[in-house]
Structure 1
Amino acid sequence: MASTKPYIGCKIGLISKAQNRYEGILYTIDKTNSTVVLANVKCFGTEGRPTDRPTPTKDDVYEYITFRGSDIKDITLCESPRSYGLPPDPAIIQVL
């Protein structure tokens, strides 16, 4: 993972303006289009947060979800990436 993007590969929690919480692995941030892409994403719904449209937790895990930056209310770091014992190498994009 490139050291210029230290959070790529980290587990991220994201709350949308619709009050839904998502957790996934930060895949990329596109500054030009103001988007955030998470991989292996689970939706936990609104979890009792005040909203006109409550959403339950979903059992599905989505391969990738692209979020519009302007519709993100909060982002938190849940877990640092696992190093897998590999040296820092900008050629490595993702370890599965």
Structure 2
Amino acid sequence: MASTKPYIGCKIGLISKAQNRYEGILYTIDKTNSTVVLANVKCFGTEGRPTDRPTPTKDDVYEYITFRVSDIKDITLCESPRSYGLPPDSAIIQSSSASSSSVYPGLTIV
């Protein structure tokens, strides 16, 4: 999996067409449904970007958010995947550690 989707597990910054910035871990990209899913997501609001609907930063961290690709203005790589944990292995489809709060049900890596 690491060779075909090298950014899965990376920290990603995303700006929506509504000018809101989000940061989270890239969980999956679904080409069929044209969606991107981030896990452990924080919303930083519009941060002064020009918009008719300014949004403040939210304190909440969302377990995951699914974004429609057509409504994404920009995506940037914030940091590479962490080097600890399981080694990159194409045989692994999904994992969960004892320290993680939950598994993301219903989501698959496509």
**Cα offsets for 1:13-49 (capped at 9, x unmatched):** 0000000000000000000110000000000000000
* Greater strand share, structure number: 1
1:56 paired to 2:49: no
**Cα offsets for 1:30-78 (capped at 9, x unmatched):** 0011000000000000000000000000000000000000000000000
Relative to structure 1, the CA distance from residue 50 to residue 24 in structure 2 (aligned partners, 3 Å threshold; closer, same or farther) is same
Shift of 1:2: 2.6
Q: Which runs of 5+ in 1 are unaligned?
A: none
| Secondary structure class of the residue paired with 2:81 | coil
| Secondary structure class of the residue paired with 2:88 | coil
TM-score (norm 2): 0.80
TM-score (norm 1): 0.92
Q: Percent identity?
A: 96
Relative to structure 1, the CA distance from residue 84 to residue 93 in structure 2 (aligned partners, 3 Å threshold; closer, same or farther) is farther
1:69 paired to 2:106: no
Shift of 1:87: 3.0
Of structures 1 and 2, the one scoring higher in RCO (CA 8 A, sep 6+) is 1
Q: Which runs of 5+ in 2 are unaligned?
A: 95-108
Relative to structure 1, the CA distance from residue 27 to residue 92 in structure 2 (aligned partners, 3 Å threshold; closer, same or farther) is same
The list of structure 1 runs, each at least 4 consecutive aligned residues, that deviate by more than 6 angstroms after superposition, is: none
Q: What is the count of residue pairs matched by the alignment?
A: 96
